[in-house]
Chains A and B, each alone.
Chain A
């Protein structure tokens, strides 16, 4: 990792905690060359290319894969219980995969802070899940497993339709709120001795509803979705959910991420329009990329919507070190 990428690496951690992305202070020589070259390229030529891409067919490869994984993962819980096949017992907060403990990192944190006593099973389950998401990419949990993410994605479609019809506007909210809520919920668990966040976690509520049947708690999830549809796009995942931040921190060191290639990018910004966390894609803005290839930061959920939507293939899934190994 060169000095430019190193600086961006730390910048992106700050961005995850809520800082707005800034214009880079320094850009590597090869990247600078490309930026200059792009400025000199015939604008009409680019526009023609853009139009051609706009007419091209929409791809949903990664989205479909992701939805399949998410649905299968959640149904595995459901059917393990319903059919008593005992593959994945429990709920998303804590479970056993053919006997091995798996415990959601944020739930584990809440319990540890509230109860102030940690038993062996809790440590085993937490460590297993930590390693799992360290390998699979931190916030991949959000987009590939969390059931709330899926329903929020559908709500987002309604929201975007309403925005297009000019019936609502997306009211953005300060992203530092998520860091605040992480701290407040951790402090509340520690101070009150109750796992306060767990009582409103839509991930836990939905997971339990899928396995043990619906309850009144779904009203809270519904309230969140209504807020997101009519008021603020993906508000819970973007601005409030401490689970996302917990997994985001795990993702800092994860080898799985989206990689951005500067030279092929047309800077149309389609990726930023579909992205849950567009602040991680600031690098695709004209003149912002600090190097010819830039890994996307830890707040990225690795959902692959940008990969699907990018008409030039400038955004791809990447496993750090794997290309070197092969």
Chain B
């Protein structure tokens, strides 16, 4: 921009009507302005696409508000990611539209095992997207609220054994009973997810404060009960004797009301693909 020329579009006050060239320039400038507006707004509104396509639901960190409220309140800072001792929380990418930068848990890769004891991600959240207890005005979906504060097996002997959590983030469901080792009466020996699995968990008998790799903790079980054994919440899942469709008795993992949807069962299931999954944002239906 040279000094002799007046800045963008500013006309000296005593000039004759704008020349044709000027008019053309002004028109082009308008077109460019509209182009940039369109580009920015198009990009911004493309955030709606994943919602339109109704992609698979994300499992949010514990204490997450209902999805709509969660997306409106999350400031996408990742402080929850930073405090998680097992790094269960990841941030979503562009394909999540408005959910870009929001935290989620891929339970099969790394579930939340509550090894922080205090649900630190909730404590870290600056905007109240993750809450211990929902504010009154937000309302709660039927079956989302836990009947009682979940008792953490790891803290069972502590003075305060409960987990500060009032709503579940999902519910576990046995998706492939035909492949379930417990149902087949099979045992399990070795590393549950193979030697290269990166997932970590807290084992109370190893170290209460330091989670270790699941691969470093091999099992030798006469009858597989891993989903029950490693479930961090008391009474959320158990092996029960059930009747098969043909009338015969057999054993099977059964999910109960205290299930918070943390996903440890999904992570620890040694069958590929997993027999038990957490349905994100599912509520407890009696």
Interface residues of A (CB under 8 A from B): 20-23, 80-81, 89-96, 101, 103-104, 107-108, 111, 114-117, 119, 121-122, 125, 171-175, 177, 180-181, 184-185, 188-189, 193-200, 204-205, 208, 211-212, 215-217, 219-220, 223, 227, 231-232, 235, 239-240, 267-269, 272-273, 278-279, 282, 285-286
Q: Is the CB of B40 within 8 A of A200?
A: yes
Query: With contacts A117-B137, A208-B101 known, is A107 near B126, CB below 8 A?
Result: no
Pick from B28, B45, B47, B75: contact of A94, CB under 8 Å: B75
Residue of A nearest to B26 (CB): A174
Smallest CB gap from B83: residue in A: A89
- Roughly how many angstroms separate A248 CA and B236 CA in the complex, as a whole number? 53
Known: A184-B41, A208-B76. A115 touches B127 (CB 8 A): yes
- Given contacts A108-B75, A115-B73, A208-B78, whether A199 and B97 have CB atoms under 8 Å apart is yes
**Contact flag A91-B29 (CB < 8 Å), given A122-B127, A200-B44:** no
Give every chain A residue within 8 A of B7 (Cβ-Cβ): 20-21, 278-279, 282
- The smallest C-beta distance from B132 to any residue of chain A, in angstroms, reads 12
What size tier do the contact residues of chain B reach? Answer: 35 or more
Instruction: Indicate if the CB atoms of B78 and A211 lie closer than 8 Å.
Output: yes
User: Which single residue of chain B is at the shortest CB-CB distance from A208?
Assistant: B101
Contacts of A23 in B (CB 8 A): 12-13
* Pair A91/B78 contact, Cβ less than 8 Å: yes
User: How far apart sit A286 and B5, CA to CA, in the bound complex (Å)?
Assistant: 12
**B residues near A219, Cβ cutoff 8 Å:** 94
Q: Given A101-B126, A269-B3, are A197 and B44 neighbors across the interface (CB < 8 Å)?
A: yes
Q: Can you offer 10 A-B residue contacts whose CB atoms are under 8 A?
A: A95-B79, A96-B126, A115-B127, A119-B127, A173-B36, A200-B43, A200-B47, A208-B91, A227-B36, A231-B32
In the assembled complex, the CB of A256 is this many whole angstroms from the nearest CB of chain B, namely 25
Q: Considering the chains assembled together, what is the distance between the CA atoms of A111 and B71 in angstroms?
A: 9
A114 to chain B, nearest CB (A): 4
B36 touching A177 by the CB < 8 A rule? Answer: yes
| With A177-B33, A196-B47, A198-B101 already in contact, 8 other A-B pairs whose C-beta atoms are closer than 8 Å | A20-B7, A23-B13, A90-B77, A91-B76, A114-B73, A172-B8, A199-B98, A240-B36
B71 to A195, Cβ gap below 8 A?
Answer: yes
Closest 4 CB pairs of A and B: A94-B77, A114-B72, A119-B128, A115-B73
Q: Give the Cβ gap from A166 to chain B, nearest Cβ, in Å.
A: 15
Instruction: Check A227 against B39 for contact (C-beta < 8 Å).
Output: yes
B77 and A93 contact, CB distance less than 8 A? yes
B71's closest neighbor in chain A, by CB?
A: A194
Which residue from chain B places its CB closest to the CB of A120 in the assembled complex? B128
Evaluate contact between B41 and A103: CB separation under 8 angstroms. no
Residues on the A chain within 8 Å of B124, using CB = 89, 96
Docked Cα-Cα span, A111 to B101, in Å, equals 14
User: Distance (Å) between the CB of B232 and the closest chain A CB?
Assistant: 23
A121 near B94: Cβ-Cβ < 8 Å: no
Task: Enumerate chain A residues within 8 angstroms of B47, measured Cβ to Cβ.
Answer: 194, 196, 199-200
Q: Once the chains bind, are A174 and B30 in contact (CB under 8 Å)?
A: yes
Complex CA distance for A54 and B47, rounded to whole angstroms: 49
Main SS of chain B's interface residues?
helix
CB pair B32–A171 under 8 Å, yes or no, is yes
Query: Bound state CA distance, A104 and B101, in angstroms?
Result: 15
Q: Given A173-B33, A174-B30, A180-B37, A117 and B73 touching (CB < 8 A)?
A: yes
> What's the Cα separation between A211 and B76 when bound, in Å?
12
The answer to the question of B241 belonging to the interface, with a C-beta cut-off of 8 Å to chain A, is no
Given B37, B69, B82, B95, which contacts A177 in the complex, CB threshold below 8 Å?
B37
Shortest C-beta distance, B231 to chain A (Å), equals 28
B229 to chain A, nearest CB (A): 30
Q: Mark B115-133, 1 if CB is under 8 A from A, else 0.
A: 0000000001011100000
Given the contacts A94-B127, A212-B78, A217-B93, A22 and B3 also touching, CB distance less than 8 Å: no
- Cα A187 to Cα B79 with chains together (Å): 27
Considering only CB atoms, which chain B residue lies closest to A189 in the complex? B72
A215 CB contact (under 8 Å) in B3, B29, B94 = B94
Most buried by A among B37, B91, B127, B137: B127
Q: Which of B28, B43, B73, B138 has the most CB of A within 10 A?
A: B73
Which residues of chain B have C-beta atoms less than 8 A from A211's C-beta?
78
Q: How far is the CB of B46 from chain A (nearest CB, A)?
A: 8
Known: A199-B47, A199-B100. A174 touches B75 (CB 8 A): no
Report A31 CB to chain B, min CB distance, Å.
18
Is the CB of B2 closer than 8 A to any CB of chain A? yes
User: Contacts A89-B79, A94-B127, A199-B100: A21 and B10 contacting too (C-beta < 8 A)?
Assistant: yes
Contact of A20 among B8, B128, B135 (CB under 8 A): B8
Q: Does B9 contact A (CB under 8 A)?
A: yes
